[in-house]
Structure formats: C-alpha cells, structure tokens
Structure 1
Amino acid sequence: MEAMKMAILMILLLIISEHAKGAIVQFIFGDSLSDVGNNNYLPRSLAKANLPYYGIDFGNGLPNGRYTNGRTVADIIGDKMGLPRPPAFLDPNLTVDMILEKGVNFASGGGGILNETGQWFIQKFCLWKQIELFEGTQQMVSKKIGRQAAMEFFTNSRYVVALGSNDFINNYLMPVYKDSWTYTTTQFIDYLMSTLRQQLIVLHGYGVRQLVFFGLGPMGCIPLERVLGITGGCQTKVNNIAFQFNKAASNLLKDLSLHLPNATYRFGDAYDVVADVIHNPNKYGFENSDSPCCSFGRIRPALTCIPASSLCKDRSKYVFWDEYHPTDAANEIIAEQIIANLGFKPINASGEAPFGAPEPAPSLF
C-alpha cells in the first residue's frame, strides 16, 4: 500500500513538473502602448480605449482595450518569437491555468514609472502597482503548482517593461504637476532612474531574469506635441528629453545585468527608426507622419478616437492612429527594429498567432 501511495505521489509530482515546463510565456508591464484592456475594467479611469474605432483592424474589429487600430509592439514581438499573447490581468475570465499557458499583461493606459504620473486619469496602474499585482499572481501560481515549480515557471518566463512616456507627457511636461517645477530635466531623469532601479531589483527578487525595457521614441513628434507647439513641427526639446532618458535607461539596464545574478536585462531601442519614419515616411510606405488617422476634423488635439471622429481612408498609410499612439503599421516597424537590434529568435515552436497583420484597411466610406 505504501509503495502504491509513493508511486501515485511520484506521478502527481511528474505531472506538476511537466505542467510547469510548458511553453514559455511572457509578462508585460507598461502603459497605453502595451495595454490590452486593463483600463476598461477600471470603472473610474478616464484613460480607456473602449470606443470605436479602436481595434478596428484587430480580430472582430471591436474595441479590445488596445490604444491603436491593430496590434501593439509587444503583440508583434511576441508573435514573431512564438510567445502566447498574455491576457489583461483584470480580464474577468483570467484563471491560473490561463496564466500558466499565456502569462499576464499588467499594462495600464496612463501609467508611469512614478506613482504620481497620470493622476488626472483618476484610475490607472503605475509600475509599482503592476509589480504588486505580479507578486499576487506569483502567490496564486505557487498555490496551484507548488513553490518550486512556480519558481521555475517564473524564472523561465520572458518579461517586457515599457513605461516612461507618461512620466513626461502626463507629468513633467505639464505645469499642473509638482514634478514639473521641482526638478530640472537632468534631476527628473535621475529620479526616474533611481525609481526604475528599485523596481527592476524588486522584479529580480521575484525571479525575473530575462527582461527587455522598451525605450522611448521621439515624443516631440507625436501629433499632440506638434499641435501644442508654435510651428506645428516636432518639438526638439521634448525629443532631446526622450534621447536623454533612453541613454540613462540603457546604462541602467547594462549595470543591472552586470550586478544582478543571472539577470539579462536589455534595452529595446527604436528611437532612430521611428524618427526616420516620421521624417521620411515615403521611404517606409507611409503618406502621413504628422497627424492622426482618427481625428475630430479641425478640432485639435482631440486626445482620443471616438465614434464621432473621422478616419483616414487607408490606415496603413498613417504613422499615427490618434494624438498619442502609432498605427499597427508603424508598430510593426518598431517591433521589427527591436527584434533586429536584440537579435531575438523564436522561442516556442507555436502555431500561427491568433491574429496576424491586419488585412489592407477597408474603406468606411
């Protein structure tokens, strides 16, 4: 009888072990550039992509929480690497089995590295909160498959951290925020880096070993910054801030990789290619790189895309979807550049992605 109990126990342990050794998944921490629906479940949030025409070129064409017409950069990179697309943490259908199969996306529109960033959105998850939710996720997984198996699962997973733009656009560059008149630009970036260092060290303590941090693009060239400027052109000062942030973040990632045991923390830089796309759109097949595809006529900035907005005739020819966010076509170029820069190779031998690149944009008129 004891021998039979031991045999059953060994079989159960083997099943748990094999379950934990399934396909590698990814966990995503970020803002609206990576959000796949978390903010839609925050009842008081003012930063939601839950209205047409968001998601028009994705799946059934209905809003899905992504702040673009199609896929995010993280979607595209994950697809090309054979990684499952992680569901939103607040998805009511999320289960521990889904986490083990697909990972989780904690990204939240309006979120930043700093807790004080994006306060006027009322509800959003900044990075510290996302890390707290990740800790809770680990506890759920450990309860399901055991501490050792969970440790292996999280150590083998891949991680994306993609925040920073809101810390400037919806904090430092807005006079209503205390940070804008408390720090010089250099001091503020140092503040961001010291906070980010703490956050990445905490993540390392939770078993995060393979991590990519997405850098900022030329923020001064997004439609919002153009229309807020005097000339309508790119704001050089804002672009320089993004460049300084990227340099500091790249150095931070290198330092952490040297000093944190078994950590491979890498910086995903696409600044130059985005700048080139904006300044030479025809070279990449675009026709417009200075205004949003989804806009409210001459009323600028419209901030978000809404049902009353008008759409450009061909979404694939526009770099920007709304005042802040790139189109699917632009996101693909960004993703491919990051993949090339970091030499990413497919991880899982998975089948086709749930949704590939959108079909040529249909006319709505």
Structure 2
Amino acid sequence: MAYIELRVFSWTIFVVFLLVNVATCQDALAPEAAGGRKSLVPAMFIFGDSLIDNGNNNNLPSFAKANYFPYGIDFDGGPTGRFSNGYTMVDEIAELLGLPLIPAHSGASGDQMHFGVNFASAAAGILDNTGRNFVGRIPFNQQIKNFENTLDEITDNLGAPDVAQALAKCLFFVGMGSNDYLNNYLMPNYDTKSRYNAQQYANLLVQQYNQQLTRLYSLGARKFVVGGVGLMGCIPSILAQSNSNVCSEEVNQLVLPFSNNVNSMLSNLNSNLPGSKFIYIDIKNMFQDLLTNYRRYGFSVINKGCCGIGKNRGQITCLPLQTPCPNRNQYIFWDAFHPTEAVNILFARKAFSGGPDVVYPINIQQLASL
C-alpha cells in the first residue's frame, strides 16, 4: 500500500508541474526546466523502437538489448540501453527544447518524470507480432497502453480536464515502422511477404498506425512529431547480404509506399482531428543528403558499422566488450542497424530548426511555439 501511495503522490506532483508550466507558457514566458534552463514545452513523451529506446528493454527477457559496453561508450554514465555510442535523436531534441534527457518508462519514478517519459522499445513495431524473433519487446499498442495506464493514475486524483489542458502543450514524438520491415516483412520465418505485396503491406501498416495515433489524440496528445523511416537499404545489415557494396534499391523501393502512405495519413489527421498538429521528419531525405554529401558533414565511412562483425561489420551486430572504431564521429553507422551519435545529433538539429526539405509542414521549434 505504501508503494501505491508513493506512486500516486509522484504522479500528482508530475501533473501539477505540467499545469504550472502550461500557465507559464500562456504568459509568453517559457517554463524552467532542470538547472534553471528555459524549456519550450512542459514535457515530451516518446514512442518508438531501438532508434530512440533508452533502456525499456533492459529488464525484459529479450535479445534486443544494448545495456552493455561498448554501447554508451561516449555517453555520460556509460551503457544505458541506448542503441548508440552516445546520444539518440530524441536526446538531442530534448536538449534543444530545454528539457533534461527523458527517462525510460521502465525505470522512471518521482522527480525523473516531471519532463516526460520514453516508452520506446527495441524490436517494437506498429504490428504486435513484429520483432518476435527477439522475444521480449513492447509493441506500439502496448506502449500506448503504458501511457494510458499512466494517465489512469493521474485522472483518478486530478480529473481529466486538467490533464487534457496540460498534455495539449506537450510534444509527442513517435518513430515507428522500421522493424515492421527489418524484423517482420524481410524475415524468412515470417509469412508476411507471401501474404502482401509492398503496397498492400504499407496499407496494412498505415491503417493500424492511423488508429494508434488517433488513440494517442483521444488520450490528450495534440502536438505530434512523427519520424519517418530511413534508407533501410543502405544500413550495414542489408549491405552485408549483397556482393555489391551499394544500397539495396529493392529494399528502399519496398519501404517507399509506407513513407508515401504516412505522409497522406498525417495530412488527413491534421485536417480531421481538431486542435491537432502533426509534423513529419523526412529521415529518408536526410539520409540521402548525408550519403551524397557525407564529406561536407565531416564523415568518411558510410557503408560499414563502427562496431560489428563480418562484411560491412553488419553480419553480426555489436557484441559485449567488442572494441569499436576509434574515430566514431567519422562513421555514419554505429552498428549493423543504428546511426552514430554524430548522425543522431545532426538529424535532430535539422528536425528542430530545418526547412521543408527535411521536416514539414513546420519544424519542431515552430511546433513547440504554437
């Protein structure tokens, strides 16, 4: 009983903090975050996969974990569960917003949750059965349910209208879809490819995605940042499956209908959900620009992981205690699947203040100011 009372007290403090921040924002003065910084939004809630997971799989019976060295080699505090040598994209976005780093749902408590929660899970997908080869993971539907359970605790004590007012000012970052291809459609032990062609599968995914985002809207979310999928045919894991050392156009074309469908979906949601604002980060365009102009951005290695084994260091991903490359800031890919911290920071900054070639209809900074 004491544990339950402590959690209720912690979440009550959390919601009171959000409501105070909302009032401050309406007075045209940004709320203060940790260390006296001024934040552009009260909080950020994060949903997604291993690209932005920061430790939610650590205690699951899962093969999709990154809570061991050399993951986190450049992160203050070492390995945390982030699939990177350092920052993820949402870490940098949080700092740009003036927020502290957002804690993982699995380990968050008390004051740690004042500025938001990260619900993302490695191997998770839009579809519940995506990523089952990794055993434990938290699909997007369950991530939404975890958020909903959090709200249940809040509304029991404070009432839904106040919570809705607070959540309307927060950012909701969603990045899903990559695993529905890499760890579902392209997996030989799934029958998905035999049941759907590329367009049919994209339609299935986005039909579900639409329902999931609408569900978050019904729970109070209004400001959405949706991250698109990248050039998956160019990651070391895919490159390692070919004799050529060039991106797989087949894989890139496979994913294209999904990206097109997501753009249409977000346009419809903006039109049909009153008070909502959905923006899209075009990760595909960012990657295309990076691979074309990598030297201009300070990179020198574009087709192999910094940490991994085999062809392109992508046949087996980064193993415990493996020695990674020393010049990590010059690599685009950290392991077989994920970008380095340098790329995550670059993309986050483009999404935060970039133009319509990479984020639209407005950027994150503009969304936060609404």
Q: In structure 2, what residue type is equivalent to 1:32?
A: S
What is residue 6 of structure 1 aligned with on the other side? none
Q: Distance in 2 between the 1:52 and 1:17 partners? A: 38
Q: Residue 91 of structure 2: which of 75, 92, 109 is its match?
A: 75
* 1:1-365 matches, cutoff 5 A: 20-22=19-21, 23=31, 24-42=42-60, 44-60=61-77, 62-91=78-107, 93-95=108-110, 97-99=111-113, 101-296=114-309, 300-339=313-352, 340=354, 341=359, 342-345=362-365
Given that 1:20 and 1:145 are in contact with CA atoms closer than 8 Å, whether structure 2 keeps it comes out as no
Given that 2:236 and 2:312 are in contact with CA atoms closer than 8 Å, whether structure 1 keeps it comes out as no
Q: In structure 1, what residue type is equivalent to 2:258?
A: F
Deviation at 1:310, TM superposition (A): 2.7
SS of 1:262's equivalent in the other structure is coil
Deviation at 1:119, TM superposition (A): 0.6
Larger Rg computed on CA atoms: 1
Q: In structure 2, what residue type is equivalent to 1:34?
A: I
Q: Structure 2, unaligned stretches of length 5 or more? A: 1-11, 22-30, 32-41
Change in Cα spacing, 1:242 to 1:334, as seen in structure 2 (3 Å) is farther
Change in Cα spacing, 1:81 to 1:300, as seen in structure 2 (3 Å) is closer
Deviation at 1:337, TM superposition (A): 2.2
Deviation at 1:298, TM superposition (A): 5.8
Given that 2:126 and 2:140 are in contact with CA atoms closer than 8 Å, whether structure 1 keeps it comes out as yes
Q: In structure 2, what residue type is equivalent to 1:290?
A: N
Cα offsets for 1:43-91 (capped at 9, x unmatched): x11100011100111113x211100001111111221122332211110
SS of 1:156's equivalent in the other structure is coil
Q: Structure 1, unaligned stretches of length 5 or more? A: 1-12, 350-365
Matched positions, count: 331
Cα offsets for 1:238-286 (capped at 9, x unmatched): 1123333222101101101100111111211131221222233212110
SS of 2:58's equivalent in the other structure is helix
Given that 2:240 and 2:312 are in contact with CA atoms closer than 8 Å, whether structure 1 keeps it comes out as no
Change in Cα spacing, 1:162 to 1:298, as seen in structure 2 (3 Å) is closer
SS of 2:364's equivalent in the other structure is coil
Q: In structure 1, what residue type is equivalent to 2:176?
A: L
Change in Cα spacing, 1:246 to 1:231, as seen in structure 2 (3 Å) is same
Task: Provide the TM-score with structure 2 as the length reference.
Answer: 0.84
Q: In structure 2, what residue type is equivalent to 1:151?
A: A
Task: State the Cα RMSD in Å.
Answer: 2.3
Q: Distance in 2 between the 1:16 and 1:160 partners? A: 19
Q: Distance in 2 between the 1:19 and 1:324 partners? A: 36
Deviation at 1:17, TM superposition (A): 5.7
Q: Distance in 1 between the 2:244 and 2:317 partners? A: 22
Given that 1:25 and 1:84 are in contact with CA atoms closer than 8 Å, whether structure 2 keeps it comes out as no
Q: In structure 2, what residue type is equivalent to 1:123?
A: G
Given that 2:307 and 2:313 are in contact with CA atoms closer than 8 Å, whether structure 1 keeps it comes out as no
Given that 2:240 and 2:315 are in contact with CA atoms closer than 8 Å, whether structure 1 keeps it comes out as no
Bigger Cα displacement from structure 2, 290-299 vs 176-185: 290-299
Given that 2:63 and 2:134 are in contact with CA atoms closer than 8 Å, whether structure 1 keeps it comes out as yes
Given that 1:321 and 1:327 are in contact with CA atoms closer than 8 Å, whether structure 2 keeps it comes out as yes
Deviation at 1:178, TM superposition (A): 1.9
Q: Distance in 2 between the 1:175 and 1:222 partners? A: 19
Q: Distance in 1 between the 2:148 and 2:256 partners? A: 32
Cα offsets for 1:171-221 (capped at 9, x unmatched): 011121121211000000000010001111111110111001100110000
What is residue 360 of structure 1 aligned with on the other side? none
Q: Distance in 2 between the 1:230 and 1:192 partners? A: 31
Q: Distance in 2 between the 1:66 and 1:325 partners? A: 10
Q: In structure 2, what residue type is equivalent to 1:322?
A: D
SS of 1:212's equivalent in the other structure is strand
Q: Distance in 1 between the 2:102 and 2:15 partners? A: 21
Change in Cα spacing, 1:205 to 1:286, as seen in structure 2 (3 Å) is same
SS of 2:168's equivalent in the other structure is helix
Q: In structure 2, what residue type is equivalent to 1:58?
A: F
